[in-house]
Structure 1
């Protein structure tokens, strides 16, 4: 769903700024869920601990590595649940190593952005190893630039990270299309004058990029 309408021109945008996780990249939670069942924990327990801001924010701001994050998650699991140290570390490690893949429909649509001459910038709240993960998916050349919160020290929805991305794209905010699966991140982009797309599936992206086919 597009939350603000682009102007009716042949080329309404000069740049597309796009999130990574849950837009391009998706994770397989099956290994963690199986370990949680074996440990007698409700499915999703590990993620609820790991993605609490107290645990997650240092990772996304580059203040800790993924290995340090996993250890902190294991410590919290061991303290808050009837788990042995080895079982807690197994769960945290499995989450940190969750298999992931790229949605080929989304990747194809984004490759079309650059083919049409628009700038594409990935804007992600991610760990320090995002570049390695993109390479593992064969996407190191997908975008013109990658803005990673862990490297910039600032994360969405802070306005600064949007300004960094627009600057790298060489585009004014009102000429940027911003795509993200979190509504608050989209709303922050719209507040800066960008056109925001709340991503819930590839059809949302295809709809926003329909102007490329005209």
Structure 2
């Protein structure tokens, strides 16, 4: 775990935070990409090629900013894999299979992380999900049984701004109803954590459930 804090402020040792601002993907939600990997191998592509194309800013940016739907994104990724605009060239049908497999990858919620966040909320901390996601996020949360996990969800596709832009952090802090120095920010991407810390929050660079549990250990005292 890497925990970084701003200069000493008003936080107290007994309860240093009033809110937890938490990322979704690779913190709470994890994908099974085994089918996609099989298809990439069959196509002679290195593992991760499809995701690299799909989440390149040119493709992934419009998706997480709510400018296109997931179906439109899949079409664009397939076109790129099929060799349009100088992208990776694979047969059109295979390109569609790869893009579809990425979009339909099964996912699950990590029980340990969910439990820690539910415990924080029960203890009186405001919990806010802050995620760069697509317009159908609510459907995904419902599929995981997590519609009641957080007090608020700040979805980049609805806000029109994505991490690490300071504006989305300001939105999340406002929804949490807490000062930045009273917020714990948890994310698997270091640049997102650093952006939160620059705004006065305490940041946790997430690598596993123990990172979150450690940051919330004060609730067990």
TM-score of the aligned structures, taking structure 1 as reference length = 0.97
How far apart in 1 are the matches of 2:13 and 2:37?
48
How far apart in 1 are the matches of 2:37 and 2:156?
28
Is the aligned partner of 1:84 residue 2:91? Answer: yes
* CA apart distance, 1:82: 4.0
- Match of residue 3 from structure 2: 2
Q: Within 5 Å, which residues of 2 pair with 1:153-168?
A: 153-168=160-175
Is the aligned partner of 1:141 residue 2:148? Answer: yes
* CA apart distance, 1:4: 1.5
- Match of residue 79 from structure 2: 75
2:134 to 127, 135, 159: 127
1:12 to 6, 16, 20: 16
* CA apart distance, 1:60: 0.5
* CA apart distance, 1:8: 4.2
Gaps of 5+ in 1: none
Is the aligned partner of 1:206 residue 2:206? Answer: no
Partner secondary structure for residue 142 of structure 1: coil
1:146-204 Cα deviation digits (max 9, x unpaired): 00000000000011111111111110101100000000000000000000010011111
In the alignment of these two chains, the number of paired residues is 214
Partner secondary structure for residue 105 of structure 1: helix
Gaps of 5+ in 2: none
- Match of residue 114 from structure 2: 107
How far apart in 1 are the matches of 2:199 and 2:116?
25
How far apart in 2 are the matches of 1:127 and 1:81?
24
- Match of residue 173 from structure 1: 180
CA RMSD after TM alignment? 1.1
* CA apart distance, 1:42: 1.4
TM-score of the aligned structures, taking structure 2 as reference length = 0.94
Q: Which runs of 4+ in 1 moved over 3 A?
A: 5-8
